[in-house]
Structure 1
Amino acid sequence: MKYLIGIVGLIVILGIAWLASSGKKRVKYRPIIVMIILQFILGYILLNTGVGNFLVGGFAKGFGYLLLYAAEGVNFVFGGLVNVKEYSFFMSVLLPIVFISALIGILQHWRILPFIVKYIGLALSKVNGMGKLESYNAVASAILGQSEVFISLKKQLGLLPKQRLYTLCASAMSTVSMSIVGSYMTLLKPEYVVTALVLNLFGGFIIASIINPYEVTDEEDMLEVQEEEKQSFFEVLGEYIMDGFKVAVVVAAMLIGFVAIIALINGIFSAVIGISFQELLGYVFAPFAFLVGIPWNEAVNAGSIMATKMVSNEFVAMQALAQDGLNFSGRTQAIVSVFLVSFANFSSIGIIAGAVKGLHEKQGNVVARFGLKLLFGATLVSFLTATVVGLIY
Structure 2
Amino acid sequence: MKYIIGIIGLIVVLGLAWVASSDKKNVKYKPIITMLILQFILGFILLNTGVGNYLIGGIANGFEVLLKCAGEGVNFVFGGLVNDKQFSFFISVLLPIVFISALIGILQYLKILPFIVKYIGLVLSKINGMGKLESYNAVASAILGQSEVFISVKKQLGLLPKHRLYTLCASAMSTVSISIVGSYMVLLEPRYVVTAIVLNLFGGFIISSVINPYTVTEEEDILVVQGEKKQTFFEVLGEYIMDGFKVAVIVGAMLVGFVAIIAMINTFFKGIFGVSFQDVLGYAFSPFAFLMGVPFNETIQAASVMATKLVANEFVAMNLLSSGSVHLSARSTGIVSTFLVSFANFSSIGIISGAVKGLHEEQGNVVARFGLKLLYGATLVSVLTATIVGLII
Amino acid at match of 2:235: E
Question: What displacement does 1:325 show?
Answer: 4.3
Q: 1:353 maps to what in 2?
A: 353
**Which secondary structure state, in structure 1, belongs to the residue aligned with residue 187 of structure 2?**
coil
Give yes or no for contact 2:174–2:343 (8 Å, CA) kept in 1.
yes
Q: Which residue of 2 aligns with 1:91?
A: 91
Deviations 1:155-197 (A, max 9, x none): 0000000000000000000000000100000000000000000
Equivalent residue, structure 2, for 1:377: 377
Deviations 1:341-389 (A, max 9, x none): 0000000000000100000000000000000000000000000000000
In structure 2, give the amino acid aligned to 1:345: N
Q: Map residues 208-357 of structure 1 onto 2, 5 A cutoff.
A: 208-357=208-357
Cα distance in 1 between the residues matched to 2:80 and 2:69 = 13
Partner in structure 1 of residue 365 of structure 2: 365
Whole-Å Cα distance in 2 between the matches of residues 171 and 92 of structure 1? 29
How many Å separate the matches in 2 of 1:10 and 1:140? 27
Is 1:20 the equivalent of 2:20?
yes
Asked whether the 8 Å contact 1:278–1:308 carries over to 2, the reply is yes
Structure 2: unaligned runs, 5 residues or longer? none
Tell me which residue corresponds to 1:6: 6
Look up the match of 1:194: 194
SS in 1 for 2:332: helix
| Matched residue SS, 1:217 | coil
SS at match of 2:216: coil
Q: What residue is the counterpart of 2:165 in the other structure?
A: 165
Q: CA deviation at 1:272?
A: 1.2
The aligned amino acid for 1:234 is: F
Please give the secondary structure, in 2, of the residue aligned with 1:47. helix
Residue 374 of structure 1 aligns with an amino acid whose one-letter code is L
What per-residue deviation string (whole Å, max 9, x for no partner) do you get for residues 102-144 of structure 1? 0000000000000000000000001000000000000000011
CA gap 1:83/1:92 in 2 versus in 1, 3 angstroms: farther
Inter-partner Cα distance in structure 1 for 2:104 and 2:292: 35
CA distance in structure 1 between the partners assigned to 2:351 and 2:15 by the alignment: 29
Q: Which residue of 2 aligns with 1:126?
A: 126
TM-score by length of structure 1 reads 0.99
Provide the rounded CA distance (Å) in 2 between the counterparts of 1:255 and 1:185: 18
1:18-67 deviations in Å (ceiling 9; x for gaps): 01100000100000000000000000000000000000000000000000
Q: Is the 8 A contact 1:75 1:82 kept in 2?
A: no
Query: Do the aligned partners of 1:81 and 1:91 also contact (CA within 8 Å) in 2?
Result: no
For 2:2 and 2:82, the matched residues in 1 are separated by 42
CA contact (8 A) 2:320 2:326 kept: no
CA contact (8 A) 1:145 1:172 kept: yes
What is the rounded CA distance, in whole Å, between the counterparts of 2:229 and 2:266 in structure 1? 49
| AA matched with 1:297 | N
- CA offsets 1:194-253 (integer angstroms, 9 cap, x no match): 000000000000000000001100000110000100000000000000000000000000
AA in 2 matched with 1:46: L
- Which letter does structure 2 place at the counterpart of 1:42? L
User: 1:388 — aligned with what?
Assistant: 388
Q: Are the equivalent residues in 2 in contact too, given 1:75–1:81 (CA < 8 A)? A: no
Which amino acid counterpart does residue 97 of structure 1 have in structure 2? I
Percent identity reads 77
Letter of the 1:12 partner, please give it: V
- Give the AA of the match of 1:103: L
State the one-letter code of the partner of 1:183.
Answer: S
- Give the match's secondary structure for 1:186: helix
Offset at residue 84 of structure 1 (A): 2.7
The two structures, once aligned, show a CA RMSD in angstroms of 0.8
Q: Are 1:71 and 1:82, in contact at CA under 8 Å, matched by a contact in 2?
A: no
Offset at residue 86 of structure 1 (A): 1.2
| 2:207 alignment counterpart | 207
* Corresponding residue number in structure 2 for 1:155: 155
Is this contact kept in 2: 1:306–1:336, CA < 8 A? yes
The answer to whether the 8 Å contact 2:301/2:327 transfers is no
* Residue aligned with 2:221, SS: coil
- The worse-fitting range, judged by mean Cα deviation, of 76-85 and 191-200 is 76-85
Shift of 1:80: 4.5
Which residue identity is paired with 1:62?
G
Query: What amino acid sits opposite 1:151 in the alignment?
Result: I
Distance 1:82 1:338, change over 3 A: farther
Give the distance between the partners of 1:82 and 1:243, measured in 2 at CA. Answer: 25
Q: Distance in 1 between matches of 2:305 and 2:46?
A: 24
In the alignment, the residues of structure 1 paired with residue 224 and residue 184 of structure 2 have an alpha-carbon distance, to the nearest angstrom, of 32
Distance 1:198 1:325 in 2: 29
TM-score, structure 2 as length reference: 0.99
CA distance in 1, matches of 2:119, 2:266: 48
Aligned length: 393
Q: For residue 100 of structure 2, what is the aligned residue in structure 1?
A: 100
CA offset digits 1:299-353 (Å, max 9, x no partner): 0000000000000000000011012243311110110000000000000000000
Match of residue 73 from structure 1? 73
